Structure formats: structure tokens, C-alpha cells
Amino acid sequence: MLQVAFLRAHKEDIINRLQKRNIDASEMVNNAILFDEERRALQTKLDNVKAESNSISKEIGILFKSGEVQKANVLKEKTTQLKEDTKELEQELNAKVEALNNLLYTIPNVPNIIVPSGNTDEDNEEVYREGDIPTLFDGALPHWELAKKYDIIDFELGNKITGAGFPVYKGKGAKLQRALITYFLDRNTEAGYTEYQVPHLVNEASGFGTGQLPDKEGQMYHVTADNLYLIPTAEVPATNIFRNTILTESDLPISVTGYTPCFRREAGSYGAHVRGLNRLHQFDKVEILRVEHPNNSYNALDGMVEHVKGILKELKLPYRILRLCGGDLGFTSALTYDFEVFSTAQDRWLEISSVSNFETFQANRLKLRFKNNEGKNELCHTLNGSSLALPRVLAGILENCQTENGIKIPEVLVPYTGFDIIS
């Protein structure tokens, strides 16, 4: 959530930069500033009425002590009216604060200046590519056919148990899945990230804190009886560890990693492009996140990108990095880099990671601050990234590493799987 002081100080620049998202934010920004001015005017009026009431109450006490009961009773009538005025002003103020917050919740984060303009994922900017795309043998199969051939993932069984988008991993498929999770966590902790195990359901405040609510409630599974949400990513519970927290400058940076299943309704996702592991309602992901000093957050973002690059290089998967355009940028992000692995059997790129800097957008919602060296509270910067999302990494391994004799396991994973081929 953007701060009103920031909107007021940089109004024209914010409106211009939000145009990269293909939205005209001038009305929203101007209304937010107007609502805040009205809120401050009501607060001043309320403070004055309370101050007058307190002053009269003291005067009444003095009058009673001095025996001037009639004068005291006259003033008591006035305090009764002031109490009514106070109640009305408090109701007006609360309504104005709620209206302001509801409006601020609808304004997306301001794109970084280097975010390219554009409307769709076709306008994203490729900034890096590595790895040779393998030439497969005649008769090579997409991963959903490989899964059936080697009996390692059962999509029909998942459909029987739950529904489409909930696969069952079996035998070497389950071991490979577990190996990837452990390998990702090991690489992250070796890089200085502290591992956490976090809840898989969160409350409404946590959803608001990281920006899933009110923006993405339609994509989240809602446990209505308890008003809890199944997490769409470990980012939500892990970032909310630091909600309503004041850190010291020496606490920064904070680096966290964690594995969780992720749950996404993915409403409206149909067709061949979502077949197999390409789009699931439940999937596994290892996340990294950082809480940073504002002066260092973009260096941290570059470091996170390099970290994910290192993992993909060890897996020997062909991949590319895209800088997302304004029209494809997430609601809370100021700058996002997407990693995509090439699926040779499908002849298409598959997104496997997003690494983003949210600047102060989440921290303002979370009330996540640090006390700087001058003793003043500042908002932290938050960042997060997938390191990595498993389904499409697994799809890339199955398809790119297939041979006529079976699927060769990337060398770096063999110590984790205990086998070097699925045949």
C-alpha cells in the first residue's frame, strides 16, 4: 500500500509511472489525497472539541469546589453537547479513514523506472539467456506422457481423489520431487537463508499484509467456517512473520527460505497450455524472501537473481530471464524478473520463478519498520522469489533429459535421489 505522504509529494510522477500498468490513476491518487485532507481536518476538529471538553471539565471541578454550583451545572450542559459532538466526529473520522484505506488498497505499486511499458507477456523484455536447447530423438514425449510411461505421476488418480490439477506422485517421481525440495533448501541455506516451516493457512490480516487481499481473493481457497485462506505461496506466511515489527538497522538484512505446498484456484485456466504439470491447483514450491534496508534492496534483488541462475546452471536446464512489462507486473511489485525454462518436447517456455522487489508497498501494509541510526522509524523493503517452483522444473527435467533408454537425472540431484535414471 502506498503512503499518502508519498502520493502527495510525488503525485505527477506516480500517475505517470502507473500508466506503465495501462491504468489512469489520476482520479484514485487525487481522491486519496483529498480523503486524507478531509481526514486530517476531521481529526483537528475532533482534537479541538476534546480539548474544549477537557478544559470545561476542569473548570466545572473548580466551580464545584468553590461552591458555584449553578455555574457548574450550566457548563455541564455544554459538556453534554460536546460529548455528542465528539461521538459524531469520531464516527465521521472512522468512516473517512475506512474510505481512505479502501481506496489505497486499490492502488497498485508504482513500477520502477526501468520497467518496460507494455500490455501483455509478449511485451516482456528478455534480459538473459543461458543453456543449449537439446535436440531430442524421434518419438520424444511431453512430460504427461512420460509420467504415464514410467508410472511416476498419476493425473487420473489425483482427479479421482480430489479433481483436476491435483496430481499424485509415485515411486521415483515422488523421490525426485522430494529430492528437488531438499536440494533447493540446501542451496538456499548455504547462501545464508534461514529455513522456516510455516503454516499452510493464514488469516485475513496476513492476506492483506502481503497484498493477496483484496486483490486475489478469487484465486485463493477460502475456509469460510474459520475465515482462513490456504496459502498461494510461502511468501504470505513467511513475510507475515515480521508484521507489526520494528527492527533495528543492524538486524538487516533478514533472509528466509521455506518449503510449502501452494494452493491456487486458477479460475478460468483451461486448454492444452495447462496440461499436465503446466498449471496445477496444488503444487510444491521453495521460496526465498528478504527484508532489506531501502538503500540495498536492488542490490539484494540482483543477488537473488544470481542465486536462482546458479541453481538452474547446476541443473543444466536451458532458461531465460524476462523483465516484466507494466501490464504483466503483479499488483504489489515494483520490479519483477521471471525465469522461464525451455520445454523441448512442448516447444515452449515455461515460467518457473518470479523474483520481485516490493519496495515499501508490503511493509506499509505490514507495519514493518526499522529504527535507523538517527532513531527514526523507516519502512523496510521486502523482496521474494521462487527458488524454485517444482512442477515446471520437474516438467523441464523430464522432457529435456529424456533419452531412448529413460530419463537421466541431473548429476547434482543424484545424491538426493539415490538413482541416476528413470527407466
Confidence at residue 216, expressed as pLDDT on a 0 to 100 scale: 74
Spell out the residues 6+ positions from residue 277 whose beta carbon is closer than 8 angstroms to its own.
Answer: 143, 144, 153, 167, 283, 391, 392, 394, 395
Q: What are phi and psi of 362, to 5 degrees?
A: -70, -40
Number of helices followed by number of strands (H, E) in the chain: 13, 19
Is 318:279 a contact under the CB 8 Å cutoff? no
Query: What cell does 176 get?
Result: 525426485
Residue 322 contacts residue 137 (beta carbons within 8 Å): no
Contact call for residues 150 and 422 (beta carbons, < 8 A)? yes
- Pair 123, 338: CB distance under 8 Å: no
User: Each residue of 287-346: pLDDT tens digit?
Assistant: 999 999 999 999 999 999 999 999 999 999 999 999 999 999 999 999 999 999 999 999
pLDDT confidence of residue 274: 77
SS3 255: strand
- Over residues 110-126, the pLDDT tens digits come to 999 999 999 999 999 99
pTM: 0.92
Q: Is the pLDDT of residue 352 over 70?
A: yes
Residue 276 φ/ψ region, left for φ over 0, alpha for ψ in the -120 to 50 degree band, beta for the rest: left
Confidence of residue 270 (pLDDT cuts 50, 70, 90): low
Average of per-residue pLDDT across 256-279: 83
Give SS3 for 337.
strand
Whether 166 and 153 have beta carbons less than 8 Å apart is answered as no
Strands 254-263 and 194-195: parallel
Amino acid 269: pLDDT: 53
Output the nine-digit C-alpha cell for 191.
Answer: 547462501
Distances from the Cα of 202 to the Cαs of 98, 209, 221, 295, 296, in angstroms?
23, 11, 11, 31, 29
Residue linked to cell 534492496 = 297
Residues 114, 115, 118, 121, CA torsion sign: positive
From first CA to last CA, the distance across the chain in angstroms is 51
DSSP for 175-200, written as a single string: HHHHHHHHHHHHHHHHTTPEE----S
117, 326 in Cβ contact below 8 A? yes
Strands, E assignment, 34-176:
125-130, 153-154, 168-169
pLDDT > 70? residue 273: no
Q: Which structural domains are found in the chain, ordered by start?
A: 4-104 (1.10.287.40), 121-422 (3.30.930.10)
Q: With 70 as the cut, is the pLDDT of residue 140 above it?
A: yes
